[in-house]
Structure 1
Amino acid sequence: MTSEQSSPPDSISPRWIKRPEGSNWGDFGPNDQRGRLNLLTPAKVLEGIAEVKVGQSFCLSLPLDLPGGNVLNARRHPPVLRPTIRNGRFNVNYALRQDSPQLTDVMSDDAVLLYTQYSTQWDGLAHVGQLFDADGDGLPEPLYYNGYRAGIDVEAPVGEASPYVTVPESHARALGIEKMAETGVQGRGVMIDLHAHFGREHRLVGLDDLEAVMASDGVSVEPGDMVCLHTGFAEMLIEMGGEPDPHKLEHSCCVLDGRDDRLLDWISSSGLSVLVADNYAVEAHPAGACDAPEHSAVPLHELCLFKLGIHLGELWHLTPLANWLREHHRSRFLLTAPPLRLPGAIGSPTTPVATV
């Protein structure tokens, strides 16, 4: 990671005087809200399209009612589908001749209460920030990527803390997930198949393991690539059928070691545009012990979301694609994975599609 802390000379920001060590704040412009998605250039899209050889597509989303329950995260719950109301009746199997006898149509319509990061998802850049002294006055303030500020750019609702409170304005005035959606999120995906080498062993993966797997499988990552890590965790969720076993899940499958500085350096220097895994948080959560007096509980999230603007994908269903790629001695594919274009949202479900 770079050690520069001061503002780049051609990218003076109205929000900060100094930037975090190892960050790229300002490199894509003083008001950038896309982060490393800026590396998904038309050339990268063409590289992804060039990987389409047979035209077969894979849905990389879990059913959005999985994992099931809320044992993985007590604050997140499965989606709740409800019918809309029409003339005081539930608008499902609604015969229009109830309103006009000559009409033959039957209508159904519904609504959903959806926790945006419950299942297959994108973490937006307003998901994890840090306390950092960007003003150089000795007083750290809560900030997000590129110096966007809590309370100004990312607002919390006022009033009773209820999951059903109606907030009159968007949470994220900046860094909302719609900024990601506007890019199309399409380019070349690269699969790193940890499961093929370590199975469902619970393993903390650092740079040594990652490089060994990549070398064994002939995988390379170039700037702008969208990197996907297959661990088998999402496949276990499917097998559990909506009744996840938290103890078994906690002791299964690979997770990245967010305390491995060499691994973090690789993420930074590789130029990858997004980082995706089929597990709960990409990295071990909580991370291992740290000797520093002040530190992040989620250091990989700190690096990716806060410092570099790398969106994180979690709980993707990668097993069928990974198995196909291995069978055909491939690791690259076209990936299309926009989030919902929901202004102000902090995260979003996604239904990614891989084409090979």
Structure 2
Amino acid sequence: MTQDAFRALYERLREEARHGPDDRRGTLNHLTPARVVEATREVRTGRTVSLAALVETEPGPDNPDPAAHRMTGPHQQDIGTPGLYFARDRFAMNVHGDADSHLDALCHVLYDGALYNDVPAGSVTPDGATALTVDVVRDGIVGRGVLLDIPRLRGVPWLEPGEHVTADDLTAAEAAQGVRVGAGDLLLVRVGHRRRRREAGAWNAADARAGLHPEAVGFLAERRVAVLGSDSNNDTAPSAVEGVAYPIHVLTIHAMGMHLMDYLQFEELAPVCAQEGRWSFLCVVAPLRLPSATGSPVNPIAVL
């Protein structure tokens, strides 16, 4: 995609996504209370499936700055001795990496000197963000989740790094799986990143990964999707747009006000959906309450 075509798409999506000058929820406006109630009707068996990957503490080619976990208690001399002691630990994490499952807040993307809906970029300070933070979703995101499995559609175990998911892929996956993405849905797109990583080994995903083509964002806008998630970064690398490294992040978060979930895992969910013959479910997302943060580790749960 040329820079001019990208800019035209960006401007169109931005204009179509207007929810008023004071809006801070973006596409979550599509996820109305009535649609939440309707989503609960997706629950039939009560089976729950995690959509998050294990948090890793060892460095790798795609995770040079992994999460840090250390025990702070009890002291070794106290273990096995009479009395009461507590096991305690400390956890630190680089939220926006290329390995751990996380949610991007609307303050995550600064583009052309502003955040979503013309919120000044200066609202992101050295001490944290003051607007559009993950606190916008402090009450959680609950709605109808839809998984579109693109490797299944193409008859391959995974998409290779650099391959794009197009709008045609999304509509073809709908037809093949007998499901349709609708207003207020949480759209989850499987590219097979986690399976490839498990079977072929980790690689530098910052430089090469499968993801959506920018034109596919028009599908999200047309269907009025509330949230987008993937088992990759959502963006393809190398980028399809010269000069814009993360076009999907710019188009969704910045132009449309859409929260993203990156590096989820669907290797447990996809077989369950195939077995039950349905690809929609209740999806519950509960980010941590971090009032000035640009994102949060996340463990979405599918309830079938």
Q: TM-score, normalized by length of structure 2? A: 0.85
Offset at residue 60 of structure 1 (A): 1.0
Deviations 1:174-227 (A, max 9, x none): 011111223x11111011111212322423221122222222222211110000
1:38 corresponds to which residue? 29
Which residue of the partner structure matches residue 94 of structure 2? 115
Q: Report 1:43-122 matches (<5 A).
A: 43-65=34-56, 68-72=58-62, 77-84=65-72, 90-92=73-75, 95=78, 104-118=83-97, 119-122=100-103
Note the C-alpha offset of 1:24: 5.1
Q: SS in structure 2 opposite 1:107?
A: coil
- Answer whether contact 1:286 1:298 (CA < 8 A) is retained: no
Deviations, residues 236-258 of structure 1 (Å, cap 9, x unaligned): 33446xx62348x947xx42112
Corresponding residue for residue 209 of structure 1: 169
Give the superposition deviation at 1:289.
Answer: 4.4
CA shift at 1:70, angstroms? 4.7
**Secondary structure at 1:49 match in 2:** helix
Contact 1:92–1:107 (Cα < 8 Å) also in 2: no
In structure 1, the partner of 2:186 is 226
Contact 1:227/1:276, CA 8 A, preserved across alignment: yes
Distance 1:26 1:352, change over 3 A: closer
Structure 2 unaligned segments of length 5 or more: list them.
1-9
In the other structure, the counterpart of 2:4 is none
CA distance in 2 between counterparts of 1:26 and 1:246 reads 34
Determine if contact 1:256/1:284 at 8 Å carries over to the other structure.
Answer: yes
- For 1:137, the equivalent position in structure 2 comes to none
Is 1:154–2:124 an aligned residue pair? yes
The aligned length equals: 288
Q: Root-mean-square deviation (CA), in Å?
A: 2.6
Query: Per-residue deviation at 1:92?
Result: 4.8
CA distance in 1, matches of 2:39, 2:76: 43
Residue number among 125, 132, 146 corresponding to 1:175 in the alignment? 132
Q: What pairs with 1:114-133 in structure 2 (closer than 5 Å)?
A: 114-118=93-97, 119-131=100-112
> Counterparts in 2 of 1:320-339, with a 5 A limit?
320-339=268-287
Which residue of the partner structure matches residue 265 of structure 2? 317
User: 2:77, 2:121 → 1: CA distance?
Assistant: 46
**Hey, which bits of structure 1, 4+ residues long, moved more than 6 A?**
none
1:201/1:331 CA distance change after superposition, 3 Å: same
- Residue 257 (str. 1) matches residue 236 (str. 2): no
- Cα distance in 2 for partners of 1:284, 1:267 equals 17
1:96 and 1:216 map into 2 onto residues whose CA distance is 57
Structure-1 separation of matches of 2:17 and 2:224: 16
Cα separation, 2, equivalents of 1:219 and 1:172: 38
Question: Which segments of 5 or more consecutive residues in structure 1 lack a partner in the other structure?
Answer: 1-18, 85-89, 132-141, 158-168
CA distance, structure 1, for counterparts of residue 132 and residue 225 of structure 2: 19
- For residue 173 of structure 2, what is the amino acid of its counterpart? V
1:189 aligns with 2:145: yes
User: What SS does the corresponding residue of 2:182 show, helix, strand or coil?
Assistant: coil
Q: Secondary structure at the match of 2:268?
A: helix
Q: How far apart in 2 are the matches of 1:71 and 1:21?
A: 37
Q: Distance in 1 between matches of 2:202 and 2:34?
A: 41
* Rg larger for: 1
Partner Cα distance (1:223, 1:236) in 2: 31
CA 1:192 to 1:220, structure 2 compared with 1: closer, same or farther past 3 Å? same
2:272 partner SS: helix
Percent of residue pairs bearing the same amino acid type: 28
Q: Does structure 1 residue 144 correspond to structure 2 residue 115?
A: yes
Question: SS where residue 128 of structure 1 aligns?
Answer: coil
Determine which structure has the larger helix proportion and give its number: 2
Cα pair 1:94 1:108 within 8 Å, conserved: no
**Separation (CA, whole Å) in 2 of partners of 1:26 and 1:322:** 31
